[in-house]
Structure 1
């Protein structure tokens, strides 16, 4: 049995809450940095993304 290799990684982040008001680029960079660390340590996977306040603001999807 062969395992299907993912063809795409899709990342969505909603920028409409308070964590993105002052410097959205910093919060996006923080979220992506955490995601990259997770992938490095655990491999690629679907994952919920959270802002600094713990709110779910997006998701990574493997397709």
Structure 2
């Protein structure tokens, strides 16, 4: 995510206990999504840097 203010609150809605095996990461800079980030991206975790694009994620998910 990208915050446009000095402080931010993030809320997640969950309906069952967290299972790391269900975590999903999609590339923040996927050209197919073409997200116009309002600020320069300055910090990206290793996990997010290595994330697949949406098309690759869907292809592997559908098998």
What range describes the TM-score normalised by the shorter chain of this pair? under 0.3
TM-score w.r.t. the length of structure 2 is 0.22
Q: Considering Cα pairs closer than 8 Å and 6+ residues apart, tell me whether 1 or 2 has the greater RCO.
A: 1
Larger radius of gyration: 2
Indicate the structure with greater strand content: 1
Larger % of helix: which?
Answer: 1
